[in-house]
Amino acid sequence: MHELRATIAIVRRHIDRRFALDFAMQFALVGAIGYIFAHVFAAPPIPILICGTLAAASAAEREHAASLRRVSFFAMPLFGRQLARAHAIAPVLSALSIPLGYATGCALRGAPLAPPAFGILVLTAIVGALVSLSSVFRDGVRAALYVGLAIAAAASLAIVAVVFPGHAFAADAALAAIEGFFALRAFGETLARYDPLPAAIG
């Protein structure tokens, strides 16, 4: 019960005005992409790659990273895995603006996505955000590698959707569950190992 209260407190701390603004901007941007390219990107792999890439970039954004690195979070009496779960919820919610925006854009253009296709985009955004989260506590090349890994995870979902066209959603759901689970575990490990050092001032 206490753990749930702490989780909700951390999520509430992340969901502020800036979060709402980012959500709205992402929704509008991807909505515009969906509206403009609804007929061009009719084949499943391209929207999946777009959603995965944008979700990865959204979760790895540097200002967001700085807010997660605040020392006060690390002074909290929580295990790394508890902090990881709490930290992951807001970026995943934010990433959901991407498939929602894309689906809205396509619908406005008169080419609505089929429910399984929309479901795959949602799964891709979640996996992209979860894998990319581990970049938040890294800098430089190592951070970029995790963003690359998130895009690769999205690409794997796109490939599965192409290879199993009749059962694309079920196959992607299974793969996304595995990738998401390991991504969250890796994020927990990253948090447990991370040392929140002060800015080098001396």
Partner 1 sequence: MVLRALAASFVRDGVEIVVPFDLALGPGETATLAQPTPFAASIAARICAAIVKPTTGIVYVGDYESRLQPPQAKRLVGFVDAAGFDGDDHAFHCETAFRADVWGLEARVAHARASAVLAALGSGDERHARYARAVALALVADVAALVLDQPTRRIVESVRAFAPVPAIVRTRVGVAAPPAPLVAREPAAT
- Given the rule CB under 8 A, which residues bind partner 1? 2, 5-6, 8-10, 12-13, 71-72, 74-79, 82, 195-202
| Nearest partner of 128 among 100, 89, 155, judged by Cα | 155
- Cα–Cα distance measured from residue 173 to residue 100, given in angstroms and rounded to the nearest whole number: 18
Query: Judged by CB, which is closer to partner 1: 18, or 39?
Result: 18
CB 49 within 8 A of CB 128: no
| Least distance to partner 1, CB of residue 111, Å | 43
For partner 1, the closer of residues 40 and 197 by Cβ is: 197
Which CB sits closer to partner 1, 12 or 39? 12
Closest approach, Cβ 200 to partner 1, in A, equals 5
Closest distance to partner 1 from the beta carbon of 173 (Å)? 33
Pick 85 or 104: Cβ nearer partner 1: 85
